[in-house]
Structure 1
Amino acid sequence: MERRSGKELRELFLKFFEEKGCKRYHSFSLVPDDPTLLFTIAGMVPFKPYFLGLKKPEVTRATTAQKCVRTNDIENVGHTARHHTFFEMLGNFSFGDYFKEEIIPWAWEFLTERVGLDPNRLYATVYLDDDEAFDIWHEKVGLPKERIFRLGEDDNFWAAGPVGPCGPCSEIIYDQGEEFSCGKPSCNVGCDCDRYLEIWNLVFMQYNRDKEGKLTPLPKKNIDTGMGLERLASVVQGAPNDFETDLFRPIMEKACELVNVKYGEDPKKDMAVKIISDHIRASAFMIADGVLPTNDGTGYVLRRLIRRSVRFGRLLGIERPFLTELLPVVRQSIGDEYHELVEQASAIEQVLSTEEERFSRTLSQGSELMYSEIEKLEAAGKKELPGDVAFVLYDTFGFPLELTEEMCEERGISVDEEGFEGAMEAQRERARAASRQTSSVMSKSVYTELADRLAPSPFCGYEKTSCEASVEAIIVDGASVDSVAAGAEAELVLSDTPFYGEKGGQVGDKGTITAEGATFEVEDTLYPAPDLIIHRGKVTSGAVKLGDVVDACVDEKRRAEIRRHHTATHLLHEALTRVLGKHVRQAGSIVTPTFLRFDFNHFAPVTIDELREVERIVYGQVLKNAPVVTTVMALEDAKKSGARALFEEKYGDRVRVVSVQDFSTELCGGTHVRNTGEIGLVKIVREEGIGSGIRRITAVAGSSSLPLFQSYGAAVAMAVTMFGGDVESLQSKLEAMLDEKKVLERKNRELQVRAAMSDIENSVRPCASEGGVELIIEKFDNVTPDLLRQIGDRIRQKYPHAVTLLAGVGEEKRVMLTAMASPETVKLGANAGQLIKAVAAEMGGKGGGSPALAQGGAQSSDKLDKAFAAAPAIFKELMAKKK
């Protein structure tokens, strides 16, 4: 067998199936057009609508090398030879075309003749009663009967969900040899060890399963196959595991270099290097496809992978940020096949760098908690860290158990591993429950049925804003009807339409549809199913019937304002890239007739000077009155021309490219002005952060900018009248007024403190004493937290050997608590944090802090007197424990 690289195997597979009449598709995005999935988890996911009969395929045979992400077994990555988060699935698909008779011999031909695997090492599994597949393997391929295994539904039957298309499957197994065996006498195909390795799964979708579980043969039978490239490469390259193939080895070697370890000398360090190598590939591809770190959804998965990488880097002893140093190797190893890694290199680096720095701070906080817990254990004479604490360190602060054990071991403390595993299992169960969405069913609706019959909806709105058409469908309350009368709300599908359906951030058009004796007011235009445009609105007169000839007229004034804002969005995008850097990438947008909103990745607030420069660049393009040209071309040609593709869009083979002469070029299906001068003045209204690394700009253009400037001008004129002088001196006068306000506020606080102290100077007395430390408690009405602390400082000056516990009752009876202890009293055992925590609990609140300073509170003051009455006893008990 000839040794081949992963790149060669990928190309060998795709070319082989092109020879069999399959159309080669470039890998689809990791973020699928499927509400039941977070990520593309298999090669069939982009084709799922074809298998489920929701959409007609453009071809009957297809092949892909699909990038995939699975995270159900993330804890196993690095521990096993085969688990990964990111992997490539080689697949070929038939939509009612070839079936078992073809695919089984083809699979054998590819593996034995093209790849060169030893036929005597190959086995096959088939479903229990799939005699057809068994006979093809034995009679047509020539595989001996003893090397064909019949297995049950769990192993050899595939379904998209509890109902819908399903069918038996056949797995191809490769015997890696006795050195991979578990050694058990029963070791054979189906064993959990690595000897008999599944390398390819052929799924035969030939049935439809109903709610009662009954299987009915499909009129058109489909094929879905999947083979992991990493797994195939390990077999061909003779590697003991996927990580030692050329797909991973360069990344692992770089990781070893960065952390100064030698692979193969320490299993624990090897595992950490594998995890980092796996996660950096997954993270780079996620970011390239538009995923950004967040606290939920796809962003949470990305954040978790980045943080796991950093944690295991720490375990290897690397304290500085290091992930971005691995990116060049990732690009070199796979970037020639997946150009997005190169095109988005700047954004990937920026996201990783920011998230790693942020998490480094979180790790420091976790270390503080760790040592605090260890100190408590040592004070109590205990030698084991509770499992739930270890889990909090893992789940909240990102500490792997190994890191926690290592830190505890330095202090002679062990970790309750059983308790930790119990908490981990509970989390896994929650994750499994959440991930059950991956088996959810995409079902038919009135829209998918109409799309199957009528889509794609012809759209003439680029050239005109009105046209004649016929009513192809009427939908009322989710069902198709033949007519709809005045006063009723409905949705219409037309044979042709100038109405733009909401897409790519641009809102849908409004307008009117008129038939003889009937008027339908269009309130919105949408795509409820791919390529199907519906007009949602209300019949205001007459009745609209199926087949009616109508005049469809878009609200032209509104459309013009939308065009202005959409082209302004393109100008804004390019200007931000030029001012802030090439890492800037659209993360979402809304284009309306009255404003635009543009979300983009950037990792610091945009300064006033930067915003002014962005506006200056955009306005410069408006003054040029540059032509805005739209061209339709092949997707690959568009990308080669430098057109910017937006990650949230899914593109076909032919795309619209919108270019502003000598300035910007983007793939866009929206409507635009003919020349930039039509836009008018573009004014940024607001810039704000909306998430980790995501900023948002709101701006106005065209007619909306005049009222804005008029209101700004009126406000400035009023301010000039109030403060005197002119516009140029207004800013300095406002700054002086604010400075004066701050001085007055500070003086007012000082007077409040003096007034409070004059009232209690003679009345404040310790109410308890223990171990040479006194306790003072007082409560005040209508004070700020800052004032409460100042009062505490004054009392502490008078009573240096006392612990002070103060309560402030504010609006709606809410209670603020502050506790203070001087360094002298802390040495004697006083602890403000423990005291305030216990007292706050008495009134149903929370609190905590350091031994010297702590804060807390409660929603109501109803139990404040009771809590203060208990405070002396709590204080004495805490002090007694310190003796």
Structure 2
Amino acid sequence: MTGDEIREAFLRYFERNGHTRVPSSPLVPGDDPTLLFTNAGMVQFKGVFLGEERRAYTRATTCQKCVRAGGKHNDLENVGRTARHHTFFEMLGNFSFGDYFKADAIAFAWELLTRDFGLPRERLTATVFTDDDDAFALWKKVAAFPDERILRLGEADNFWAMGDTGPCGPSSEIHFHQGDHLPCPEAAAGRRCLGPACDCDRWLEIWNLVFMQFNRDAAGALSPLPKPSIDTGMGLERIAAVLEGTQSNFDTDLLRPLIDGVARLVGKPYGGGAADDVSMRVIADHARATAFLIADGVTPSNEWRGYVLRRIMRRAMRHGRMLGLGEPFLWRVVEWVGQVMARAYPELRGEMARVQGAVRAEEERFAETLDVGIAKIREYAEAHAAEGAHVVDGKFLFTLYDTHGFPTDLAQEAFADLGFAVTDDTLGEFEAEMERQRERARAGAAFGGEAAAGEASLELWRGLPETEFLGYDALTAPARILAIVVAGRRQPEVVAGQAAEIILDRTPCYAESGGQQGDTGTIIGREGQARVLDTLKRGTGLFVHRVAVTRGGLREGEEVAVAVESPRRLGLALHHTGTHLLHAALRRILGTHATQAGSLVAPDRLRFDFSHGQQVKDRELTQVEDLVNEKVRDNLVVSPFWTELDAALKLGALAMFGEKYGPRVRVVRIGDFSTELCGGTHLEQTGQIGLFKIVDEGAVASGVRRIEAVTGAAALQHVGQEEAALREAAEALKIAPLEVPKRLQKLLDEQRALERQLQTLEARLARSRAEELVAAARQINDVAVVAARLDGLDADGLRAVVDTVRDRLGSGVVCVGSVADGKIGLVLAVTKDLTRRYHAGRLIQEVAKAVGGGGGGRPELAQAGGKDPAKLDQALTLLYDLVAKS
């Protein structure tokens, strides 16, 4: 069976057994800020397991895209070196939400493996948690296993949890015997192989059945879940290796085509050498992770998810260089990923132009990083070689990595080529700097606090019903207070002067989501009143009102009146409808690759991030703005409606990356111009926008651009400010406003002409002074030495003089210093024939010390600065002594 056939057979088997096929959720968890990437099939069902979310089904089956390359589940460094580890993989799973439990889960698994997949019964065995007598008995009954074929293992092996907190429970693993011909450390020592408990490849875990019974809170305490449930996971790549008869996941039809493609690129056979094989496997695996992460909205950057993606990409690029691929290549491999995965993920093919553009841009950026890093390493080596210090400083290694993004392992190789060693002490110092950096990041990261607060809030709100949202049709509503939290603790009452978080049974206040900020407003009770400062979502259906009580008090269970601040809501609606128009216009003008990568909808502005590999031209921005305003003038009807997810997608509705959608979705259609899945609040007609104005466009990350815009009164105010600035400029130039661009261009042309004249005069002056300095050169140890002071020259002027003197000398050492605006500048040059005797960088360091400064550079050219102008003449004279001593 092929990978595609196995995937489909699994899903169809469970559909036949009453399960609903649920699409894979995105790799970016839409409602779990504690998780880096989706790393298991159960992630999209976490709220269901916790009893916080209800679905229309109680049985589900999925093939989930997963990435493990950061945090607790981090397989990155093992990828390519083993037969099983991956950054990206697919997890086949079946789930029960309080429907069936252990008996059916074990029976389903056994039937699928032995009947549908045809695996020999005698080559299968099972493990169970030490105390799980029920699972042990069920395996004896269902599979007719003797006691010795069922292993009881401890918590480390057979108790599963997705993280430090959340759903968990005992598990049972199914293992497949790959053969006694494979090496085993126990057998090699003359002992019996320990079976599934052994650290060898003879037994392969293929399926993990988790009996989800508990929830673990932040304190580590276990509490029963509302209903015992089932979560299973079987790696598609692993079962494909078994069914295709290979010893390695990389030899399956899911990965081998990519490896063969890389082999063709480099002109080397796969299997021709261990090191090359590792590199080919790394590239194949990382190309899959790269393609799917970018398609799901992650872009390479230096922060969080983007940083992990960048690490994955650069590791693949580094292995490409190790194979001899000097030119960008990964962008080709990701296209092959789209071809291999086309049947299961047709949307990947649709995103391929954007994915390839982002990969190509990152490859070019990495090439620049390598060039800069190699130059820095050479400078370091040149500066330290003569001192006999051939051990690399860990702080320099960290600076290379942190400031310039240069991979540490590549730095080790480059230093080794220059005769320098990266020792354990070097790496220890590097790690110390890394830890200090992590501490700084932890101290300043708002994310961590928000995530922790979110988790704590979920514990406080557990058991409360979902909030009924009334805000599409009303801005005021009666409601009842279900819970009050003050300073992190549930309280029966909140009084004037206190801040609190309040949960209501129903509310007209929109909770922040989909980029739209939450509503503000008021809550009025019998004896108290509070200002709603913000409205947030917690879990999957709770609306949390952050309030400040302004008079009296509010009590749990009290009936209250809730009102939304209507002018602010109107501003949000203006900018949200404007966002949809902008998105549609960008896709019309730039192409359908320009999909949403993030947004902010505020009452006074909007910010829209979208996929696009280059700066948007001014002409294109004008076209986008004009098209949006055309649709505003057309006064199109904005029509929100609810429908099934499949029906909405067939209508062409655009879905936002990272969002998790239920079976029924809200669609917002604007005439025949825009159709998107959206839960936000909108205008009734586009004419209410009045005016749409783009105020800025720029880059956010590789392959992602950002537009900021304003609508309505905010747009008119912006235009008024621009007109006022234009009038002010016109008055200063004493011309009409419309003549400002032409006059400004004339002034710029005149400035450039004057700058060219100045450069010409400076060059003449440099030549004139150079002749004088050459004539005054001193001969020391048969070396012509020039040390001179020419005040008033900046760094460029100093270099011009030094370059000219050096060229005139032909052979010699020259240093020129200057005081300009109270600052000392020094430039020193050594002609090429003397660089074995004199190093410009080290000479200038000594000269600079004499004026309280420092500097450095290459053997041929260096520059420095200083703090004490009174000692400049003395410092320059020092050069003669330095040359005489060398």
Is 1:240 the counterpart of 2:247? The answer is yes
Rate the CA distance shift 1:580–1:250 in 2: closer, same or farther, 3 A.
Answer: same
Query: How many angstroms apart in 1 are the aligned matches of 2:555 and 2:217?
Result: 35
Query: How many angstroms apart in 2 are the aligned matches of 1:625 and 1:563?
Result: 15
- The answer as to whether partners of 1:377 and 1:384 remain within 8 angstroms in 2 is no
- The answer as to whether partners of 1:839 and 1:874 remain within 8 angstroms in 2 is no
Hey, what does 2:785 align to over in structure 1? 774
Task: Quote how far apart the aligned CAs of 1:459 are.
Answer: 1.5
Q: Which amino acid aligns with 1:18?
A: E
Deviations 1:455-480 (A, max 9, x none): 42112222232233333333332333
Hey, what does 1:728 align to over in structure 2? 738
Rate the CA distance shift 1:645–1:424 in 2: closer, same or farther, 3 A.
Answer: farther
The partner residue of 1:715 within 708, 722, 725 is 725
Query: How many angstroms apart in 2 are the aligned matches of 1:827 and 1:428?
Result: 34
- The answer as to whether partners of 2:382 and 2:859 remain within 8 angstroms in 1 is no
Aligned runs of 1:286-435 on 2, under 5 Å?
Answer: 286-366=293-373, 368=375
Is 1:577 the counterpart of 2:587? The answer is yes
Aligned runs of 1:782-861 on 2, under 5 Å?
Answer: 784-790=794-800, 792-793=802-803, 796=806, 801-806=811-816, 817-821=825-829, 823=831, 826=834, 829-836=837-844, 847-857=855-865
Query: How many angstroms apart in 1 are the aligned matches of 2:149 and 2:12?
Result: 29
Is 1:142 the counterpart of 2:134? The answer is no
Secondary structure at the aligned position of 1:67 is classed as strand
Hey, what does 1:38 align to over in structure 2? 36
Is 1:270 the counterpart of 2:281? The answer is no
Query: How many angstroms apart in 1 are the aligned matches of 2:61 and 2:624?
Result: 44
Hey, what does 1:493 align to over in structure 2? 503
Aligned runs of 1:11-160 on 2, under 5 Å?
Answer: 11-32=8-29, 33-52=31-50, 59-71=57-69, 72-160=74-162
Query: How many angstroms apart in 2 are the aligned matches of 1:415 and 1:800?
Result: 33
Secondary structure at the aligned position of 2:648 is classed as helix
In structure 2, list runs of 5 or more residues that go unmatched: none
Q: Which amino acid aligns with 1:113?
A: R
Q: How many pairs does the alignment contain?
A: 868
Secondary structure at the aligned position of 2:705 is classed as strand
Task: Quote how far apart the aligned CAs of 1:349 are.
Answer: 1.6
Residue range with higher mean Cα deviation, 42-51 or 618-627: 42-51
Task: Quote how far apart the aligned CAs of 1:389 are.
Answer: 9.6
Hey, what does 2:482 align to over in structure 1? 472
Secondary structure at the aligned position of 2:695 is classed as strand
Hey, what does 1:605 align to over in structure 2? 615
Rate the CA distance shift 1:305–1:724 in 2: closer, same or farther, 3 A.
Answer: same
Task: Quote how far apart the aligned CAs of 1:422 are.
Answer: 5.8
Is 1:511 the counterpart of 2:511? The answer is no
Structure with larger RCO (C-alpha < 8 A, sep 6+): 2
Overall identity of the aligned pairs, in %: 43
Query: How many angstroms apart in 2 are the aligned matches of 1:172 and 1:158?
Result: 14
Secondary structure at the aligned position of 1:110 is classed as helix
Query: How many angstroms apart in 1 are the aligned matches of 2:819 and 2:240?
Result: 69
Task: Quote how far apart the aligned CAs of 1:731 are.
Answer: 1.0
Query: How many angstroms apart in 1 are the aligned matches of 2:491 and 2:306?
Result: 42
The partner residue of 1:686 within 677, 696, 712 is 696
- The answer as to whether partners of 1:518 and 1:543 remain within 8 angstroms in 2 is yes
Rate the CA distance shift 1:778–1:528 in 2: closer, same or farther, 3 A.
Answer: farther
Rate the CA distance shift 1:771–1:197 in 2: closer, same or farther, 3 A.
Answer: farther
Task: Quote how far apart the aligned CAs of 1:212 are.
Answer: 8.9
Query: How many angstroms apart in 2 are the aligned matches of 1:571 and 1:527?
Result: 26
- The answer as to whether partners of 1:86 and 1:278 remain within 8 angstroms in 2 is yes
Secondary structure at the aligned position of 2:41 is classed as coil
Query: How many angstroms apart in 2 are the aligned matches of 1:581 and 1:732?
Result: 34
Q: Which amino acid aligns with 1:61?
A: R
- The answer as to whether partners of 2:33 and 2:451 remain within 8 angstroms in 1 is no
Is 1:617 the counterpart of 2:619? The answer is no
Query: How many angstroms apart in 2 are the aligned matches of 1:394 and 1:821?
Result: 30
Deviations 1:116-164 (A, max 9, x none): 1111111222233433332322244211222222333322233455676
The partner residue of 1:8 within 5, 21, 36 is 5
- The answer as to whether partners of 1:388 and 1:420 remain within 8 angstroms in 2 is no
Secondary structure at the aligned position of 2:732 is classed as helix
Aligned runs of 1:448-463 on 2, under 5 Å?
Answer: 448=458, 451-463=461-473
Task: Quote how far apart the aligned CAs of 1:401 are.
Answer: 6.0
Task: Quote how far apart the aligned CAs of 1:277 are.
Answer: 1.1
Rate the CA distance shift 1:51–1:852 in 2: closer, same or farther, 3 A.
Answer: same
Rate the CA distance shift 1:693–1:803 in 2: closer, same or farther, 3 A.
Answer: farther
- The answer as to whether partners of 1:771 and 1:828 remain within 8 angstroms in 2 is no
Task: Quote how far apart the aligned CAs of 1:699 are.
Answer: 1.4
Residue range with higher mean Cα deviation, 549-558 or 606-615: 549-558
- The answer as to whether partners of 2:777 and 2:785 remain within 8 angstroms in 1 is yes
Deviations 1:240-262 (A, max 9, x none): 21111111122222222333333
Residue range with higher mean Cα deviation, 687-696 or 416-425: 416-425
Scaled by the length of structure 1, what TM-score is found?
0.86
Secondary structure at the aligned position of 1:179 is classed as coil
Query: How many angstroms apart in 1 are the aligned matches of 2:572 and 2:881?
Result: 66
Rate the CA distance shift 1:809–1:205 in 2: closer, same or farther, 3 A.
Answer: farther
Task: Quote how far apart the aligned CAs of 1:9 are.
Answer: 1.4
Query: How many angstroms apart in 2 are the aligned matches of 1:211 and 1:382?
Result: 50
Rate the CA distance shift 1:504–1:770 in 2: closer, same or farther, 3 A.
Answer: farther
- The answer as to whether partners of 2:811 and 2:834 remain within 8 angstroms in 1 is no
Rate the CA distance shift 1:756–1:326 in 2: closer, same or farther, 3 A.
Answer: closer
Q: Which amino acid aligns with 1:819?
A: V
Q: Which amino acid aligns with 1:17?
A: F
Residue range with higher mean Cα deviation, 290-299 or 25-34: 25-34
Task: Quote how far apart the aligned CAs of 1:180 are.
Answer: 2.6
Rate the CA distance shift 1:855–1:755 in 2: closer, same or farther, 3 A.
Answer: same
Deviations 1:340-376 (A, max 9, x none): 3123222112111111222233334455567778889
Residue range with higher mean Cα deviation, 127-136 or 376-385: 376-385
Aligned runs of 1:220-235 on 2, under 5 Å?
Answer: 220-235=227-242
Rate the CA distance shift 1:102–1:724 in 2: closer, same or farther, 3 A.
Answer: same
Q: Which amino acid aligns with 1:257?
A: R
Rate the CA distance shift 1:165–1:534 in 2: closer, same or farther, 3 A.
Answer: closer
Task: Quote how far apart the aligned CAs of 1:68 are.
Answer: 0.9
Residue range with higher mean Cα deviation, 753-762 or 677-686: 753-762
Query: How many angstroms apart in 2 are the aligned matches of 1:486 and 1:676?
Result: 42
Secondary structure at the aligned position of 1:48 is classed as helix
Task: Quote how far apart the aligned CAs of 1:732 are.
Answer: 1.6
Deviations 1:772-811 (A, max 9, x none): 1425264858x64334434545665776655344556678
Task: Quote how far apart the aligned CAs of 1:230 are.
Answer: 0.3
Secondary structure at the aligned position of 1:27 is classed as coil
Q: Which amino acid aligns with 1:65?
A: C
Task: Quote how far apart the aligned CAs of 1:419 are.
Answer: 5.6
Query: How many angstroms apart in 1 are the aligned matches of 2:258 and 2:278?
Result: 14
- The answer as to whether partners of 1:482 and 1:545 remain within 8 angstroms in 2 is yes
Scaled by the length of structure 2, what TM-score is found?
0.86
Secondary structure at the aligned position of 2:724 is classed as helix
In structure 1, list runs of 5 or more residues that go unmatched: none
Q: Which amino acid aligns with 1:89?
A: M
Rate the CA distance shift 1:826–1:148 in 2: closer, same or farther, 3 A.
Answer: same
